[in-house]
Each structure stands twice: as C-alpha cells, then as structure tokens.
Amino acid sequence: MSSSPTAPVAPAPAPAHATIVARVSSRGALWVGAAWGFAEGSFFFIVPDVWLGFVALFAPRRMLITLAAIVAGAVAGATFLYFATIVRPDELTSLILALPAIAPADLEQARAQMQDDGAGAILPALVEGRPVKLYVHGAALDGVGLVEVVAYTVLNRLARLLLFGSVVALLGWAGRSIVAHWPRAVAALYAVAWVAFYAAYLLTHQA
C-alpha cells in the first residue's frame, strides 16, 4: 500500500517576528508615536511616518491607534511651538531656520500664504513639502488664532498619515508571510528606504 503524499509544511515564523509585533503593539509603542509626533511638530525634522509605517508593516491592526497617538502628539507639539514663539519669537525663528533643509525663503513663503489664506494654508503644505512647523511659527508671529492652527494641523496630519499608514498596512497584510519569516530583513529594507529618502530630500532641499 502506497502512502499518500503529505502536504508541504510552511516554515514557522521567525522568533524575532513575535518580538517585534509585541513591541509595536504595546502601550509603550503608542507613547513613542505621541512623542515622535510632538517632536516633529516642534523641532525634530524626521517625520513620524517612519514609526507609523513600521508599526503598520508588522501589526497592521495597530495602525489607526498609532496614528491617533501621533496626531495627539503633533497637536501638543504645535501648541508648544505656538506659545514658545509668542514668548521668544526671535530665538524660535533662529532655531527653526537652523533645522535641516529649511531656508529663510521657506518661512517667508509660509507667512505669505497665511496672509492670503489664514491657517488654511497649512493644508496645501501637505503637497508642497513645506513643514507644518513653519506655518505654526508664522501663525504665532502674525497673530493667527491657535484654534484654527490646531484644526488645520490635525487635518494635515490625518490626510498624510492616514494615506501612508493605510498603504503600508495593506502591504504588511498582503506580504504577511514574508514579514513573518524574514522580519529582520524586512525591517532593514524599510530602514534603508527611509535613509535613502532623507538623503535625497536633504540633497535637493539644501538651505
């Protein structure tokens, strides 16, 4: 009697995968997102999309709650920057202009747009590639209300982060077998992609 052929057994997920998933699904990961949102909303220049995408890639179901934490942090960061500008306008202008890839002309353009459109100018910044912090700082310098600034900051962040996070979460879901079996390689490739992006960005946006 011939034995029936056995179905091939799929390789088990790498142990590192479970570790990464546990960490990006933790409460601490939400604090990372909130802190990153706060930092980039004020003085840090690397976008929190980096963290959101990493979470979405390994734990797609955690994307939305991580996005919420980042947006909350961004609102806190924008509020801090707004009041810090009112208290120390010259020092804050110097600090912002010292950030990578930001030139005086960028701040002037942001302020000119806000004179025409008010805080609504924050939304076009989404596609123009100009940091929201320039608009928040300009709003404080020119007396634009904080409530408007916060509202449009939230809309800006939601529009960008929801799109990006959804795309990466879809990739993480569709490629879950690859992510599970080669988590370190996937994480390394993800990091390299962001390093390449920022290298190109800094080269083409030299102040």
- Nearest CA-CA partner of 124 in 116, 194, 36: 116
Average pLDDT on 95-106 reads 90
How high is the pLDDT of residue 145? 92
CA-based max dimension of the chain? 89
Coil/strand/helix, residue 137: helix
pLDDT tens-digit profile of 191-206? 999 999 999 988 887 6
pLDDT tens-digit profile of 171-183? 999 999 999 999 9
How high is the pLDDT of residue 8? 55
Helices (H) then strands (E): counts for the chain: 11, 0
